[in-house]
Amino acid sequence: MTLLDIKALSVSINEVPVLDSVSMELKAGEILGLAGESGSGKTMTALAIAGLLPVRAEMSGQVILDGVHLPNADEREYCGIRGRDIGIVFQEPMTALNPVMTIGDQVAETVRVHRKVSRHEARLLARETLEKVGLPSSRFPLDRYPHNLSGGQRQRVAIAIAIALKPKLLIADEPTTALDVTTQAEILALFRKLVCDDGVGLVLVTHDLAVIAETADRVAVMKAGSIVEQGAVAKIFKASKVPYIRKLMENAVHVPERTSRKIGDTPVLETCNIVREYAGARTFFGPVKALRAVDDVSFRIFPNETVGLVGESGCGKSTLLRTILGLDQAQSGEVRVFGQVFPPRRNKELRQLRQRIQVVFQDPFGTFDPRWRVEQLVTENFHLFDSPLTRGDARKRVDETLERVGLNSSDAKRYPHEFSGGQRQRIAIARALITEPAIIALDEAVSALDVSIRAQILDLLAELSDRLGMSYLFVTHDLSVARSITDRILVMKDGRIVEQGRTADVFDNPSHPYTAELLGAVPDLNRALSGSVAGST
Protein backbone atom coordinates (compact mmCIF):
# COMPACT_ATOMS: atom_id res chain seq x y z
CA MET A 1 0.00 0.00 0.00
CA THR A 2 1.34 3.43 -0.96
CA LEU A 3 2.01 5.50 2.16
CA LEU A 4 3.54 8.62 0.61
CA ASP A 5 2.70 9.80 -2.89
CA ILE A 6 4.43 12.90 -4.26
CA LYS A 7 3.24 14.22 -7.62
CA ALA A 8 4.85 17.06 -9.59
CA LEU A 9 6.16 18.80 -6.48
CA SER A 10 7.73 22.17 -7.35
CA VAL A 11 9.15 24.76 -4.96
CA SER A 12 10.54 28.23 -5.60
CA ILE A 13 12.02 30.72 -3.14
CA ASN A 14 11.82 34.39 -4.09
CA GLU A 15 10.82 33.19 -7.59
CA VAL A 16 14.01 31.11 -7.87
CA PRO A 17 13.18 27.45 -8.74
CA VAL A 18 14.45 24.99 -6.13
CA LEU A 19 12.44 21.84 -6.92
CA ASP A 20 11.08 21.01 -10.36
CA SER A 21 8.25 18.46 -10.75
CA VAL A 22 9.52 15.94 -8.19
CA SER A 23 7.42 12.73 -8.18
CA MET A 24 8.01 9.60 -6.10
CA GLU A 25 6.25 7.01 -3.96
CA LEU A 26 6.97 5.25 -0.68
CA LYS A 27 5.22 2.17 0.68
CA ALA A 28 4.70 1.33 4.34
CA GLY A 29 7.57 -0.81 5.64
CA GLU A 30 9.90 0.45 2.91
CA ILE A 31 13.11 2.53 2.97
CA LEU A 32 13.59 5.08 0.20
CA GLY A 33 17.07 6.58 -0.15
CA LEU A 34 17.19 10.16 -1.42
CA ALA A 35 20.65 10.75 -2.89
CA GLY A 36 22.49 13.50 -4.75
CA GLU A 37 25.11 16.21 -4.44
CA SER A 38 24.86 19.19 -2.11
CA GLY A 39 22.27 21.61 -3.51
CA SER A 40 20.47 18.89 -5.47
CA GLY A 41 17.22 19.43 -3.54
CA LYS A 42 17.27 16.44 -1.16
CA THR A 43 16.73 18.37 2.05
CA MET A 44 14.26 20.79 0.43
CA THR A 45 12.16 17.80 -0.65
CA ALA A 46 12.17 16.49 2.93
CA LEU A 47 11.20 19.92 4.30
CA ALA A 48 8.38 20.21 1.76
CA ILE A 49 6.95 16.86 2.91
CA ALA A 50 7.11 17.98 6.55
CA GLY A 51 5.68 21.45 5.89
CA LEU A 52 8.87 23.20 7.04
CA LEU A 53 9.66 25.25 3.94
CA PRO A 54 11.05 28.79 4.36
CA VAL A 55 8.55 31.62 4.75
CA ARG A 56 9.01 32.99 1.21
CA ALA A 57 8.76 29.57 -0.46
CA GLU A 58 5.97 28.89 -2.96
CA MET A 59 4.92 25.29 -3.48
CA SER A 60 2.82 23.49 -6.08
CA GLY A 61 2.01 19.85 -6.74
CA GLN A 62 0.66 17.12 -4.48
CA VAL A 63 2.06 15.51 -1.32
CA ILE A 64 -0.33 12.77 -0.18
CA LEU A 65 0.34 10.96 3.11
CA ASP A 66 -1.92 7.97 3.68
CA GLY A 67 -4.68 9.61 1.66
CA VAL A 68 -4.33 13.11 3.20
CA HIS A 69 -3.31 15.97 0.87
CA LEU A 70 -0.71 17.74 3.02
CA PRO A 71 -0.41 21.02 1.05
CA ASN A 72 -4.09 21.65 1.88
CA ALA A 73 -3.28 21.69 5.60
CA ASP A 74 -2.64 25.01 7.35
CA GLU A 75 0.16 25.42 9.90
CA ARG A 76 -2.13 24.54 12.83
CA GLU A 77 -3.07 21.24 11.16
CA TYR A 78 0.55 20.58 10.19
CA CYS A 79 1.59 20.95 13.84
CA GLY A 80 -0.79 18.10 14.59
CA ILE A 81 0.60 15.99 11.75
CA ARG A 82 4.28 16.48 12.65
CA GLY A 83 5.18 14.22 15.55
CA ARG A 84 1.98 12.17 15.25
CA ASP A 85 2.07 11.06 11.60
CA ILE A 86 5.50 12.34 10.50
CA GLY A 87 8.66 11.93 12.57
CA ILE A 88 11.80 13.86 11.64
CA VAL A 89 15.43 13.13 12.56
CA PHE A 90 17.84 15.94 11.70
CA GLN A 91 21.56 15.74 10.93
CA GLU A 92 22.97 17.31 14.10
CA PRO A 93 21.20 16.10 17.26
CA MET A 94 22.94 18.58 19.57
CA THR A 95 21.28 21.49 17.76
CA ALA A 96 17.96 19.64 17.41
CA LEU A 97 17.74 18.86 21.14
CA ASN A 98 17.01 21.41 23.87
CA PRO A 99 20.16 21.68 26.03
CA VAL A 100 18.24 22.77 29.16
CA MET A 101 15.67 19.95 29.09
CA THR A 102 16.29 16.39 30.22
CA ILE A 103 16.03 13.64 27.63
CA GLY A 104 12.96 12.24 29.39
CA ASP A 105 11.12 15.56 29.28
CA GLN A 106 11.99 16.07 25.60
CA VAL A 107 10.51 12.73 24.56
CA ALA A 108 7.53 13.19 26.90
CA GLU A 109 6.88 16.65 25.46
CA THR A 110 6.04 15.16 22.06
CA VAL A 111 3.56 12.81 23.74
CA ARG A 112 1.83 15.54 25.75
CA VAL A 113 1.56 17.88 22.75
CA HIS A 114 -0.44 15.31 20.78
CA ARG A 115 -2.22 13.31 23.49
CA LYS A 116 -4.21 14.28 26.56
CA VAL A 117 -2.20 12.29 29.08
CA SER A 118 -0.67 13.09 32.46
CA ARG A 119 2.99 13.95 32.89
CA HIS A 120 3.51 10.58 34.58
CA GLU A 121 1.96 8.68 31.66
CA ALA A 122 4.01 10.68 29.15
CA ARG A 123 7.24 9.88 31.02
CA LEU A 124 6.36 6.20 31.14
CA LEU A 125 5.97 6.21 27.35
CA ALA A 126 9.21 8.20 27.07
CA ARG A 127 10.99 5.53 29.13
CA GLU A 128 9.55 2.78 26.95
CA THR A 129 10.62 4.59 23.74
CA LEU A 130 14.15 5.26 24.98
CA GLU A 131 14.47 1.55 25.84
CA LYS A 132 13.34 0.77 22.30
CA VAL A 133 16.16 2.85 20.76
CA GLY A 134 18.84 1.24 22.92
CA LEU A 135 19.01 3.63 25.92
CA PRO A 136 18.12 1.42 28.92
CA SER A 137 17.03 3.01 32.20
CA SER A 138 19.89 1.38 34.11
CA ARG A 139 22.42 3.50 32.20
CA PHE A 140 20.34 6.36 30.85
CA PRO A 141 17.85 7.69 33.42
CA LEU A 142 15.25 10.20 32.24
CA ASP A 143 16.99 13.06 34.07
CA ARG A 144 20.08 12.95 31.84
CA TYR A 145 20.82 16.04 29.72
CA PRO A 146 22.00 15.98 26.06
CA HIS A 147 25.51 17.14 26.99
CA ASN A 148 25.88 14.04 29.18
CA LEU A 149 25.60 11.80 26.11
CA SER A 150 27.81 10.90 23.18
CA GLY A 151 26.94 11.86 19.61
CA GLY A 152 25.42 8.47 18.84
CA GLN A 153 23.42 8.47 22.08
CA ARG A 154 22.06 11.95 21.33
CA GLN A 155 21.01 10.75 17.89
CA ARG A 156 19.14 7.88 19.57
CA VAL A 157 17.28 10.44 21.72
CA ALA A 158 16.37 12.38 18.56
CA ILE A 159 15.05 9.16 17.03
CA ALA A 160 13.08 8.42 20.22
CA ILE A 161 11.38 11.84 19.96
CA ALA A 162 10.56 11.14 16.30
CA ILE A 163 9.03 7.67 16.92
CA ALA A 164 7.41 8.18 20.33
CA LEU A 165 3.91 8.24 18.82
CA LYS A 166 4.64 5.58 16.20
CA PRO A 167 4.36 7.84 13.14
CA LYS A 168 3.52 6.42 9.73
CA LEU A 169 6.40 8.25 8.04
CA LEU A 170 9.93 8.85 9.30
CA ILE A 171 12.25 11.34 7.58
CA ALA A 172 15.96 11.11 8.44
CA ASP A 173 18.12 13.90 7.00
CA GLU A 174 21.81 12.90 6.96
CA PRO A 175 21.34 11.15 10.35
CA THR A 176 24.76 9.44 10.41
CA THR A 177 27.09 11.89 8.61
CA ALA A 178 28.86 13.06 11.78
CA LEU A 179 28.95 9.63 13.46
CA ASP A 180 31.80 7.13 13.57
CA VAL A 181 31.41 3.87 11.67
CA THR A 182 30.35 1.64 14.57
CA THR A 183 27.79 4.16 15.86
CA GLN A 184 26.56 4.67 12.29
CA ALA A 185 26.07 0.92 11.90
CA GLU A 186 24.04 0.82 15.15
CA ILE A 187 21.80 3.74 14.07
CA LEU A 188 21.18 2.25 10.62
CA ALA A 189 20.36 -1.13 12.19
CA LEU A 190 17.90 0.67 14.48
CA PHE A 191 16.21 2.30 11.48
CA ARG A 192 15.89 -1.05 9.72
CA LYS A 193 14.37 -2.61 12.87
CA LEU A 194 11.80 0.19 13.18
CA VAL A 195 10.79 -0.26 9.55
CA CYS A 196 10.59 -4.04 9.86
CA ASP A 197 8.82 -4.21 13.26
CA ASP A 198 6.49 -1.20 13.07
CA GLY A 199 5.89 -0.91 9.32
CA VAL A 200 7.19 2.65 9.26
CA GLY A 201 7.98 4.21 5.88
CA LEU A 202 11.46 5.77 5.96
CA VAL A 203 12.86 8.49 3.71
CA LEU A 204 16.64 8.38 4.23
CA VAL A 205 18.31 11.56 2.94
CA THR A 206 22.06 11.11 2.53
CA HIS A 207 24.95 11.77 0.16
CA ASP A 208 26.60 8.48 1.20
CA LEU A 209 25.81 5.99 -1.55
CA ALA A 210 27.26 3.08 0.45
CA VAL A 211 24.80 3.77 3.29
CA ILE A 212 21.91 3.75 0.80
CA ALA A 213 23.18 0.57 -0.86
CA GLU A 214 23.34 -1.26 2.47
CA THR A 215 20.14 0.16 3.97
CA ALA A 216 17.53 1.23 1.42
CA ASP A 217 15.10 -0.80 -0.71
CA ARG A 218 14.78 1.86 -3.41
CA VAL A 219 16.67 5.03 -4.30
CA ALA A 220 15.77 8.32 -5.96
CA VAL A 221 18.77 10.28 -7.27
CA MET A 222 18.39 14.05 -7.46
CA LYS A 223 20.21 16.72 -9.43
CA ALA A 224 19.44 20.46 -9.64
CA GLY A 225 16.01 20.04 -8.02
CA SER A 226 14.82 17.15 -10.19
CA ILE A 227 14.87 13.36 -9.90
CA VAL A 228 17.08 11.98 -12.67
CA GLU A 229 16.29 8.31 -11.95
CA GLN A 230 14.62 6.15 -9.30
CA GLY A 231 14.07 2.47 -8.70
CA ALA A 232 15.47 -0.54 -6.85
CA VAL A 233 18.89 0.18 -5.34
CA ALA A 234 20.73 -2.64 -7.09
CA LYS A 235 19.16 -1.79 -10.45
CA ILE A 236 20.03 1.93 -10.27
CA PHE A 237 23.54 1.54 -8.88
CA LYS A 238 24.51 -1.43 -11.04
CA ALA A 239 22.85 -0.75 -14.37
CA SER A 240 22.07 2.96 -14.64
CA LYS A 241 23.11 4.56 -17.92
CA VAL A 242 22.69 8.11 -16.57
CA PRO A 243 26.13 9.83 -16.70
CA TYR A 244 25.42 11.80 -13.50
CA ILE A 245 24.73 8.63 -11.52
CA ARG A 246 27.76 6.85 -12.98
CA LYS A 247 29.89 9.83 -11.94
CA LEU A 248 28.48 9.72 -8.39
CA MET A 249 29.34 6.01 -8.24
CA GLU A 250 32.90 6.66 -9.39
CA ASN A 251 33.36 9.45 -6.85
CA ALA A 252 32.00 7.25 -4.04
CA VAL A 253 34.93 4.83 -4.45
CA HIS A 254 37.42 7.44 -5.69
CA VAL A 255 41.10 7.02 -4.81
CA PRO A 256 43.33 10.06 -5.49
CA GLU A 257 46.29 9.48 -7.78
CA ARG A 258 49.63 9.87 -6.03
CA THR A 259 53.04 10.17 -7.61
CA SER A 260 55.91 8.17 -6.17
CA ARG A 261 57.33 10.18 -3.28
CA LYS A 262 60.41 9.80 -1.15
CA ILE A 263 59.48 9.83 2.51
CA GLY A 264 62.06 11.76 4.54
CA ASP A 265 64.11 10.40 7.44
CA THR A 266 63.87 13.29 9.93
CA PRO A 267 60.41 13.68 11.52
CA VAL A 268 58.56 16.97 11.00
CA LEU A 269 56.24 16.14 13.91
CA GLU A 270 56.83 13.89 16.89
CA THR A 271 54.72 13.13 19.96
CA CYS A 272 56.52 11.57 22.91
CA ASN A 273 54.48 9.78 25.61
CA ILE A 274 51.63 12.33 25.59
CA VAL A 275 49.22 12.11 28.53
CA ARG A 276 46.18 14.39 28.76
CA GLU A 277 43.78 14.08 31.68
CA TYR A 278 40.62 15.90 32.71
CA ALA A 279 39.77 16.35 36.36
CA GLY A 280 36.81 14.33 37.58
CA ALA A 281 33.77 16.02 39.14
CA ARG A 282 33.74 16.39 42.91
CA THR A 283 31.15 14.45 44.91
CA PHE A 284 30.20 14.27 48.61
CA PHE A 285 32.83 11.57 49.01
CA GLY A 286 35.58 13.55 47.27
CA PRO A 287 36.83 14.00 43.70
CA VAL A 288 36.09 11.33 41.12
CA LYS A 289 39.07 9.71 39.42
CA ALA A 290 40.47 11.84 36.58
CA LEU A 291 39.54 10.91 33.02
CA ARG A 292 42.61 10.04 30.95
CA ALA A 293 41.64 11.10 27.41
CA VAL A 294 45.11 10.53 25.91
CA ASP A 295 47.23 7.81 27.45
CA ASP A 296 50.96 7.61 26.66
CA VAL A 297 50.73 8.29 22.90
CA SER A 298 53.88 8.42 20.77
CA PHE A 299 54.23 8.57 16.98
CA ARG A 300 56.15 10.36 14.24
CA ILE A 301 55.26 11.98 10.91
CA PHE A 302 57.97 12.33 8.27
CA PRO A 303 58.34 14.72 5.29
CA ASN A 304 55.99 13.95 2.34
CA GLU A 305 54.01 11.51 4.50
CA THR A 306 50.24 11.41 5.08
CA VAL A 307 49.27 9.77 8.37
CA GLY A 308 45.68 8.93 9.32
CA LEU A 309 44.38 8.96 12.89
CA VAL A 310 41.14 6.96 13.16
CA GLY A 311 38.86 5.71 15.89
CA GLU A 312 35.38 6.01 17.37
CA SER A 313 33.93 9.16 18.92
CA GLY A 314 35.40 9.60 22.39
CA CYS A 315 38.57 7.65 21.66
CA GLY A 316 40.74 10.75 22.17
CA LYS A 317 41.48 11.82 18.57
CA SER A 318 40.35 15.43 18.95
CA THR A 319 41.98 15.84 22.36
CA LEU A 320 45.27 14.52 20.97
CA LEU A 321 45.01 16.92 18.02
CA ARG A 322 44.35 19.89 20.33
CA THR A 323 47.37 18.90 22.40
CA ILE A 324 49.56 18.65 19.29
CA LEU A 325 48.42 22.11 18.16
CA GLY A 326 49.15 23.61 21.58
CA LEU A 327 45.47 24.35 22.29
CA ASP A 328 45.47 21.91 25.24
CA GLN A 329 48.34 21.32 27.65
CA ALA A 330 49.54 17.78 28.29
CA GLN A 331 50.10 16.58 31.86
CA SER A 332 53.21 14.76 30.68
CA GLY A 333 55.13 14.05 27.51
CA GLU A 334 55.95 16.54 24.77
CA VAL A 335 55.29 17.47 21.16
CA ARG A 336 58.19 18.31 18.86
CA VAL A 337 57.98 20.17 15.56
CA PHE A 338 61.23 19.96 13.58
CA GLY A 339 62.95 18.79 16.74
CA GLN A 340 61.80 21.78 18.83
CA VAL A 341 59.43 21.47 21.76
CA PHE A 342 56.00 22.79 20.76
CA PRO A 343 54.65 25.17 21.81
CA PRO A 344 57.88 26.95 22.79
CA ARG A 345 57.85 29.61 25.49
CA ARG A 346 59.37 32.45 23.44
CA ASN A 347 56.87 34.30 21.23
CA LYS A 348 59.26 34.60 18.30
CA GLU A 349 59.92 30.85 18.21
CA LEU A 350 56.19 30.17 18.64
CA ARG A 351 55.34 32.33 15.59
CA GLN A 352 58.01 30.60 13.51
CA LEU A 353 56.79 27.11 14.38
CA ARG A 354 53.11 28.02 13.92
CA GLN A 355 54.01 29.00 10.36
CA ARG A 356 55.19 25.41 9.82
CA ILE A 357 52.12 23.62 11.24
CA GLN A 358 48.58 24.62 10.23
CA VAL A 359 45.10 23.14 10.65
CA VAL A 360 41.90 22.72 8.60
CA PHE A 361 38.77 22.10 10.65
CA GLN A 362 35.62 20.14 9.78
CA ASP A 363 33.25 23.09 9.39
CA PRO A 364 34.95 25.98 7.58
CA PHE A 365 31.87 28.19 7.82
CA GLY A 366 32.02 27.94 11.61
CA THR A 367 35.68 29.03 11.65
CA PHE A 368 35.24 32.02 9.30
CA ASP A 369 34.19 35.51 10.33
CA PRO A 370 31.13 36.02 8.08
CA ARG A 371 31.87 39.76 7.90
CA TRP A 372 35.31 39.25 6.37
CA ARG A 373 36.06 38.86 2.70
CA VAL A 374 38.12 35.89 1.51
CA GLU A 375 41.24 38.05 1.23
CA GLN A 376 41.02 38.94 4.94
CA LEU A 377 40.36 35.33 5.93
CA VAL A 378 43.28 33.94 3.95
CA THR A 379 45.74 36.60 5.14
CA GLU A 380 44.77 36.23 8.80
CA ASN A 381 47.94 34.21 9.46
CA PHE A 382 50.25 36.92 8.13
CA HIS A 383 50.74 38.03 11.75
CA LEU A 384 52.98 34.95 12.14
CA PHE A 385 55.64 36.46 9.87
CA ASP A 386 58.52 38.32 11.51
CA SER A 387 58.40 41.06 8.86
CA PRO A 388 55.11 42.37 7.42
CA LEU A 389 54.60 41.86 3.68
CA THR A 390 54.12 44.81 1.39
CA ARG A 391 50.61 45.28 0.02
CA GLY A 392 51.75 44.12 -3.43
CA ASP A 393 53.52 41.01 -2.11
CA ALA A 394 50.54 40.12 0.08
CA ARG A 395 48.13 40.43 -2.83
CA LYS A 396 50.40 38.32 -5.05
CA ARG A 397 50.62 35.58 -2.42
CA VAL A 398 46.82 35.55 -1.95
CA ASP A 399 46.25 35.23 -5.71
CA GLU A 400 48.81 32.42 -6.03
CA THR A 401 47.36 30.53 -3.05
CA LEU A 402 43.76 30.78 -4.25
CA GLU A 403 44.82 29.51 -7.67
CA ARG A 404 46.67 26.61 -6.02
CA VAL A 405 43.42 25.40 -4.45
CA GLY A 406 41.39 25.79 -7.65
CA LEU A 407 39.83 29.22 -7.00
CA ASN A 408 40.22 32.50 -8.87
CA SER A 409 41.95 35.67 -7.72
CA SER A 410 38.62 37.49 -8.14
CA ASP A 411 37.19 35.29 -5.34
CA ALA A 412 39.28 37.26 -2.84
CA LYS A 413 36.66 40.03 -2.81
CA ARG A 414 33.72 37.74 -2.01
CA TYR A 415 32.25 36.69 1.33
CA PRO A 416 32.09 33.09 2.72
CA HIS A 417 28.29 32.79 2.31
CA GLU A 418 28.71 33.29 -1.45
CA PHE A 419 30.49 29.92 -1.83
CA SER A 420 29.42 26.29 -1.76
CA GLY A 421 30.56 23.91 0.98
CA GLY A 422 33.37 22.50 -1.15
CA GLN A 423 34.57 25.98 -2.13
CA ARG A 424 34.59 27.08 1.52
CA GLN A 425 36.74 24.07 2.35
CA ARG A 426 39.13 25.16 -0.42
CA ILE A 427 39.30 28.60 1.22
CA ALA A 428 40.12 26.94 4.56
CA ILE A 429 42.92 25.00 2.86
CA ALA A 430 44.17 28.23 1.24
CA ARG A 431 44.29 29.89 4.67
CA ALA A 432 46.39 26.98 5.94
CA LEU A 433 48.69 27.10 2.87
CA ILE A 434 49.35 30.84 2.95
CA THR A 435 52.22 30.48 5.44
CA GLU A 436 53.80 27.67 3.34
CA PRO A 437 53.64 25.09 6.17
CA ALA A 438 55.46 21.77 6.27
CA ILE A 439 52.54 19.93 7.89
CA ILE A 440 48.77 20.43 7.90
CA ALA A 441 46.45 18.76 10.40
CA LEU A 442 43.00 18.05 8.94
CA ASP A 443 40.23 17.45 11.49
CA GLU A 444 37.32 15.64 9.75
CA ALA A 445 37.94 17.96 6.80
CA VAL A 446 35.77 16.04 4.30
CA SER A 447 33.24 14.19 6.48
CA ALA A 448 30.35 16.60 5.77
CA LEU A 449 30.96 16.85 2.01
CA ASP A 450 29.08 14.94 -0.67
CA VAL A 451 30.94 12.33 -2.72
CA SER A 452 31.72 14.62 -5.68
CA ILE A 453 33.12 17.48 -3.60
CA ARG A 454 34.94 15.03 -1.33
CA ALA A 455 36.69 13.53 -4.38
CA GLN A 456 37.73 17.02 -5.52
CA ILE A 457 39.14 17.94 -2.08
CA LEU A 458 41.03 14.64 -1.74
CA ASP A 459 42.52 15.12 -5.22
CA LEU A 460 43.50 18.66 -4.25
CA LEU A 461 45.21 17.51 -1.03
CA ALA A 462 47.08 14.75 -2.86
CA GLU A 463 48.20 17.14 -5.61
CA LEU A 464 49.38 19.76 -3.08
CA SER A 465 51.32 17.15 -1.14
CA ASP A 466 53.02 15.86 -4.29
CA ARG A 467 53.83 19.35 -5.58
CA LEU A 468 54.78 21.11 -2.34
CA GLY A 469 56.18 18.18 -0.36
CA MET A 470 53.82 18.70 2.60
CA SER A 471 52.91 16.19 5.29
CA TYR A 472 49.38 15.63 6.59
CA LEU A 473 47.87 14.40 9.84
CA PHE A 474 44.42 13.26 8.72
CA VAL A 475 42.05 12.90 11.70
CA THR A 476 38.85 11.17 10.60
CA HIS A 477 36.20 8.62 11.54
CA ASP A 478 35.70 7.80 7.84
CA LEU A 479 37.88 4.77 7.23
CA SER A 480 37.19 4.71 3.50
CA VAL A 481 38.65 8.22 3.21
CA ALA A 482 41.62 7.24 5.38
CA ARG A 483 42.31 4.25 3.16
CA SER A 484 42.20 6.31 -0.03
CA ILE A 485 44.67 9.05 0.93
CA THR A 486 46.97 7.99 3.79
CA ASP A 487 50.35 6.26 3.69
CA ARG A 488 50.26 5.11 7.29
CA ILE A 489 47.40 4.66 9.78
CA LEU A 490 47.10 5.01 13.56
CA VAL A 491 44.10 3.34 15.23
CA MET A 492 43.08 4.90 18.55
CA LYS A 493 40.90 3.41 21.28
CA ASP A 494 40.35 4.64 24.86
CA GLY A 495 43.16 7.18 24.55
CA ARG A 496 45.78 4.73 23.27
CA ILE A 497 47.18 3.81 19.85
CA VAL A 498 46.23 0.14 19.63
CA GLU A 499 47.52 -0.48 16.10
CA GLN A 500 49.62 1.33 13.53
CA GLY A 501 51.35 0.55 10.26
CA ARG A 502 51.17 0.99 6.50
CA THR A 503 47.59 1.71 5.53
CA ALA A 504 47.27 -1.21 3.12
CA ASP A 505 48.71 -3.66 5.66
CA VAL A 506 46.41 -2.53 8.49
CA PHE A 507 43.29 -2.54 6.31
CA ASP A 508 44.02 -5.87 4.64
CA ASN A 509 45.34 -7.71 7.71
CA PRO A 510 44.29 -5.98 10.95
CA SER A 511 46.08 -7.43 13.96
CA HIS A 512 43.91 -5.88 16.70
CA PRO A 513 40.28 -7.00 17.21
CA TYR A 514 39.16 -3.37 17.56
CA THR A 515 40.58 -2.51 14.13
CA ALA A 516 38.78 -5.50 12.63
CA GLU A 517 35.55 -4.36 14.30
CA LEU A 518 35.90 -0.86 12.83
CA LEU A 519 36.60 -2.20 9.34
CA GLY A 520 33.64 -4.58 9.54
CA ALA A 521 31.28 -1.66 10.29
CA VAL A 522 32.34 0.48 7.30
CA PRO A 523 29.56 0.71 4.67
CA ASP A 524 30.97 -0.74 1.46
CA LEU A 525 29.32 0.10 -1.85
CA ASN A 526 30.89 -2.75 -3.81
CA ARG A 527 30.13 -5.28 -1.08
CA ALA A 528 26.51 -4.15 -0.88
CA LEU A 529 26.00 -4.36 -4.64
CA SER A 530 27.60 -7.80 -4.81
CA GLY A 531 24.62 -9.21 -2.94
CA SER A 532 24.76 -8.45 0.80
CA VAL A 533 22.30 -5.54 0.79
CA ALA A 534 21.08 -5.19 4.32
CA GLY A 535 18.14 -3.09 3.23
CA SER A 536 16.36 -6.01 1.57
CA THR A 537 14.28 -6.71 4.66
Q: What is the pLDDT of residues 340-363, one digit of tens each?
A: 998 887 777 888 888 889 999 877
Structure confidence at residue 134 as a pLDDT band (50, 70, 90): confident
- B/e letters for 174-194, b = 16+ CB within 10 Å, e = fewer, are bbbbbbbbbbbbbbbebbbeb
Structure confidence at residue 281 as a pLDDT band (50, 70, 90): low
Structure confidence at residue 286 as a pLDDT band (50, 70, 90): low
Structure confidence at residue 499 as a pLDDT band (50, 70, 90): very high
The residue that leads in pLDDT, 45 or 314, is 45
Angle subtended by helix axes 103-114 and 151-163, to nearest 10 = 10
> Which of the four CATH numbers 3.40.980.20, 3.30.2350.10, 3.40.50.300, 3.20.20.70 does domain 26-55+66-85+169-252 have?
3.40.50.300
Task: Compute how many other C-beta atoms are within 10 angstroms of the C-beta atom of residue 75.
Answer: 7
Q: Tell me the average pLDDT across 315-333.
A: 90
- Return the pLDDT at 145: 92
Q: Tell me the average pLDDT across 444-471.
A: 84
**316: buried, middle or exposed (CB in 10 Å: 19+, 13-18, 0-12)?**
buried
Question: Hey, which bits of 246-369 come out as E strands?
Answer: 269-278, 282-283, 286-287, 291-301, 306-310, 332-337, 340-342, 357-360
DSSP H/E element including 280: none
Tell the CATH topology of 269-529.
Answer: Rossmann fold (3.40.50)
Ranked by mean pLDDT, which of 73-87, 156-170, 178-192 comes out on top?
A: 156-170
* pLDDT of residue 177 exceeding 80: no
